Chains A and B, each alone.
Chain A
């Protein structure tokens, strides 16, 4: 059963870059889209963006100018870099696999999430 685990600093200073990695275990990272989603405390889910095995990306338009995603198939990992962070970027960050059936897809499974706080 595929499992996902987020890792990275839990505290980032304002104006710096938030960097997270998601490690995929018990399964291959190939031929899937891999997604990042975040959730501020007490609020709803926000899709950040996704990356395909080939490196093709789709980003949330509201974050696109600050966002970079990458994938390392040799390590079964994909990563998120969000630059120029502010307190508004404080959230639990989840990674998830996007499974497909025809033209439709869904998120399964999800990682357990990692809290990132932006503060000086």
Chain B
């Protein structure tokens, strides 16, 4: 059972928009920044969003992040088949004094 809660899977058609939620608590998301990672099949995770809503250089602006209170969201617009991947949220947890991850969300582009 992960400290951060994500839906196991989401699906949407090409060119559509999808959001992935990440729910936590005051000791993690409520007090620290959220980062998102994309893991393509068979590959290592890659930074997708950092500090709640910042895009690393080279990441498409079809990806966006937001946070409110103890929850965060990742939005992907203009879905493409290459976006099919597992997506993980992560945040520092002040109570555990360590990083915690969501269980991951598998995105399927129909």
Instruction: Name A's B-contacting residues (CB within 8 A).
Output: 35, 44-47, 49-50, 58-61, 94, 99, 101, 104-113
Contacts and interface: CB of A to CB of B under 8 A. Distances in A.
A43 to B, nearest CB: 8
A94 B98 contact: no
Interface residues of B, number: 24
Main secondary structure of the interface of B (DSSP, over half): strand
Contacts of A59: 98
Interface of B: 2, 32-33, 35, 37, 44-47, 50-51, 56, 88, 90, 92, 96-104
Contacts of A94: 44-45
A49 B92 contact: no
Contacts of A107: 35, 37, 45, 47, 90
A24 to B, nearest CB: 15
